[in-house]
Amino acid sequence: MGSGPEQKRLSGLAATLGIEENVTFVGKIRAAEIPRYLNASRIFAMCSEVEGLPSAMIEALSCGLPVVMPDVGDVTTVVIHEKNALILQDPTPANYAAAVKRLLADKKLYGQLQAGALKSREEFRELYSLETAKEIWENALFGET
């Protein structure tokens, strides 16, 4: 997805690889549209070399998408290998391809990771809800309530 100076080359590459029917270059989209695109997907792959705690990964998990990504930054505070994600210790293109193929071929593993992603969503709701934030601030400002 996306647009920019590499779009023409990447469109050509998709055609050369015979995957152009599976790749859509949508350009910039509004934040409100992100869940629609995630919900139309089967897997979320993030190829970052450096991350903190990526909100895109959290959004993908919240949509029930199994995640494929490297062990960078704080990602393993949220994703767990073979629970809600496949974490690549050696994030080469071949290893990404193998992980995606594995997920698409192994329905049991896919279902396990999808269920784990949805469980993560429920944990996010609990940990990051307005009610939880309110309680934290009240405790910080006024002591235990």
Over the stretch 38-69, which tens digit does the pLDDT of each residue have? 999 999 999 988 888 888 999 999 999 999 99
What is the pLDDT averaged over residues 112-119? 96
Span 22-33, pLDDT tens digits: 888 888 889 999
pLDDT for res 25: 84
Contact 48, 31 (CB under 8 A): no
Q: What residue numbers bound the domain in which 78 lies?
A: 41-142
Q: Are residues 78 and 23 in the same domain?
A: no
Q: Are residues 103 and 130 in the same domain?
A: yes
Q: Are residues 88 and 119 in the same domain?
A: yes
pLDDT for res 145: 55
Q: Are residues 61 and 29 in the same domain?
A: no
| pTM of the predicted protein model | 0.78
Contact 30, 7 (CB under 8 A): no
Span 86-99, pLDDT tens digits: 999 999 999 999 99
Q: Are residues 46 and 115 in the same domain?
A: yes
Q: Are residues 62 and 29 in the same domain?
A: no
Contact 57, 68 (CB under 8 A): no
- For the chain, how many structural domains are there in total? 2
